[in-house]
Amino acid sequence: MEKAIAYIRVSSDRQVQDGTSLVTQERRVKEYAATKDYDLLRIFVEEGETAKTDRRTELQAMLAFSKQHKGRIQVLIFPKIDRFARYIEDYYSLKATLRNSGMRVESADESFDDTPAGRFMETVLAGQAQFDNDLRAERSKGGMREAVLQGRWVWAAPVGYRNVRVNNKATIEPDPDKAPKIVEAFNLLASGRRPLDVRVWLREHGVLVGRSRFFTMFRSKAYLGIIEAFGVVQQGAPPFLPLVSESVFRRAQEAFRPARPRNGYQYDNPDFPLRGTLRCYCGSLLTASWSSGRQKRYPYYRCKSCPRVNLPLNAAHGAWLCALQQTASECLLPLKDEADFLVSAQQETQALREQVRNMERTIERFREIQKNIVLKNAEGVTPDTLARQQISELEDKIVETELEIDRLSVDDVNIQEAAQFARNFLTNICSIWEKANLSTKKHIQRFFFPKGGTVVSDPLCRTAKKADLTGSASSPGARLSSVGYHSDEAPHMLSRGYAQCIRELYREFGK
């Protein structure tokens, strides 16, 4: 018969409501020892609040006892992992200490065997205990916000980082194993590799990320060492360090832009900046090339499917500038009256704040559900694989919601300053576009025409004249209609409101 000891801990505030009273815990470990046929030698009972290992006298006594009886006791039973250790490091170090005395640990209410799934659950539960504890600590001090101002990351660590404690305060640091792989993934994305290839690359290097999480994680400014929360933008303090530079981060974002065509390289030609933006009336993106004349070569945008759509470059660019100007003028209209604009911006801001609060509540609910899944799994109701999948799906939703909260953040931009910038930018949009380098040109194109712009042949359009003025060869008139812009996808003006659009414009181009 194997010999066992047990360790239980009571904290007075929660005893009654959730069945962690001394009696319940004692009964559980006794029942457990009986079903396992262990000889239960002694139960160590810790009474008091503290979760810190070194201040728990009974825990120390238990460790001394097991050392003293080294080789004669095989098992330590605790009712639940969170009764045993509050910090994930503590949990594993206590486990290691006991292993040195020839002992293993077992939880009466949670089952985790020595299989990959079992070890996963063990980590989740130990992590959950730590998370609860961190949260309690942070909240009791009145200060997640305070923590952010100190440059600490107090949520679950993004992939590539790990949660740590410095002077007993929670933050994150680069994970020595995963961080280099995340850095390489950023570099691959920045150099134009397709996101899905990069995801495969990560998997091959032992970093597993769920699909939707993969598509959101690279937008997290955590990788720049930046915390954005509670309307505060704060540079992280060591050991929370950035993993990538701003330029790599920005270029990696491009890889996720929906308008980017699959074989992106052929669109990166400075002669034809509108490739990837202009669409034929049949819906295809226009391609472009030089065609040989008798003495000279002429640049054209063409449709692969429609042989008759053959648009001289100057005509196309003229038409484009016309459409851009028109869209920018529409954006400019509500800015004309500054006082009016500021009043409506304020109303919009309040609505956005309410929206952010709702999303924060949603996140809390997701966390609550995650916790329930873990408990249900521990009780054996939900199988491990399902629990694991549900937890990671919820984590994805949480990250997406957090990112959306970031995007909606209204306090990092001075709205008057943004309006000032936008007025100037929108008024001069055509010359700004003409003078810009290729990547800025494409950035502008995507901002105003996220789904591209369709070329419609129209000999009466005034853009034909404009095209003539810019010196094109025989130009069939062309007009652009901004299909993407006014459709359900119009992300800048309609779905988030006008003031938010001005802020985004400022964030994207103003800095």
Q: Is 51 helix (H, G, I), strand (E, B) or coil?
A: coil
Q: Is 194 helix (H, G, I), strand (E, B) or coil?
A: coil
The phi and psi torsions of 489 (rounded to 5 degrees) equal -90, -10
Report the 10 Å Cβ neighbour count for 361: 10
Report the 10 Å Cβ neighbour count for 5: 24
Q: Which two structure tokens, joined as six digits, stand for 375?
A: 């408990």
Burial 80-91 (b: 16+ CB within 10 A, else e): bbbbbbbbbebb
- Residue 305 engages Zn ion in binding (rule: CB under 5 A): yes
Contacts of 226 (CB under 8 A, 6+ apart): 233, 234, 235, 236, 242
* Cβ closest to Zn ion, residue 66 vs residue 454: 454
Alpha helices in 141-233 (DSSP H): 144-149, 179-190, 195-204, 211-217
Closest approach of Zn ion to the CB of residue 282, in Å: 3
- Residue 311 engages Zn ion in binding (rule: CB under 5 A): no
* Cβ closest to Zn ion, residue 129 vs residue 303: 303
**Interface stretch with Zn ion, choices 3-11, 297-305, 346-354, 362-370 (CB under 5 A):** 297-305
Q: Which two structure tokens, joined as six digits, stand for 241?
A: 């360090």
Q: Which two structure tokens, joined as six digits, stand for 227?
A: 């915390």
**Interface stretch with Zn ion, choices 142-150, 202-210, 304-312, 410-418 (CB under 5 A):** 304-312
Closest approach of Zn ion to the CB of residue 307, in Å: 9
* Cβ closest to Zn ion, residue 308 vs residue 511: 308
- Residue 478 engages Zn ion in binding (rule: CB under 5 A): no
Q: Which two structure tokens, joined as six digits, stand for 169?
A: 């305060």
Closest approach of Zn ion to the CB of residue 186, in Å: 37
Of residues 426, 488, 484, the one with CA closest to residue 450: 484
Closest approach of Zn ion to the CB of residue 478, in Å: 13
Could you list the beta-strand ranges (E) of 11-160.
39-47, 75-78, 104-107
Closest approach of Zn ion to the CB of residue 468, in Å: 24
CA–CA dist 157, 367 (Å, integer):
15
Distance from chain centroid for Cα 88: 24
Closest approach of Zn ion to the CB of residue 309, in Å: 5
Q: Which two structure tokens, joined as six digits, stand for 459?
A: 């000999």
Closest approach of Zn ion to the CB of residue 153, in Å: 50
Give the binding-site size for Zn ion (rule: CB under 5 A): 6
* Cβ closest to Zn ion, residue 306 vs residue 343: 306
* Residue 48, strand partner residues: none
Binding to Zn ion in span 373-402, by CB under 5 A: none
* Cβ closest to Zn ion, residue 231 vs residue 283: 283
Q: Is 2 helix (H, G, I), strand (E, B) or coil?
A: coil
* Cβ closest to Zn ion, residue 63 vs residue 285: 285
The H-or-E segment that residue 58 falls in is helix 57-68
Closest approach of Zn ion to the CB of residue 456, in Å: 12
The type of residue at 273 is: P
Closest approach of Zn ion to the CB of residue 316, in Å: 14
The type of residue at 325 is: Q
* Cβ closest to Zn ion, residue 291 vs residue 305: 305
* Cβ closest to Zn ion, residue 284 vs residue 481: 284
* Cβ closest to Zn ion, residue 115 vs residue 305: 305
**Interface stretch with Zn ion, choices 21-29, 69-77, 296-304, 411-419 (CB under 5 A):** 296-304
* Cβ closest to Zn ion, residue 6 vs residue 303: 303
- Residue 306 engages Zn ion in binding (rule: CB under 5 A): yes
- Residue 303 engages Zn ion in binding (rule: CB under 5 A): yes
Binding to Zn ion in span 226-285, by CB under 5 A: 280, 282, 284
Closest approach of Zn ion to the CB of residue 306, in Å: 3
The phi and psi torsions of 492 (rounded to 5 degrees) equal -90, -45
- Residue 190 engages Zn ion in binding (rule: CB under 5 A): no
Q: Which two structure tokens, joined as six digits, stand for 381?
A: 């109701």
Q: For the chain, how far is it from start to end, CA to CA, in angstroms?
A: 72
Closest approach of Zn ion to the CB of residue 490, in Å: 24
Taking each helix axis from N to C end, the angle separating 498-509 and 338-378, rounded to the nearest 10 degrees, works out to: 90
* Cβ closest to Zn ion, residue 302 vs residue 317: 302
**Contact set with Zn ion (CB under 5 A):** 280, 282, 284, 303, 305-306
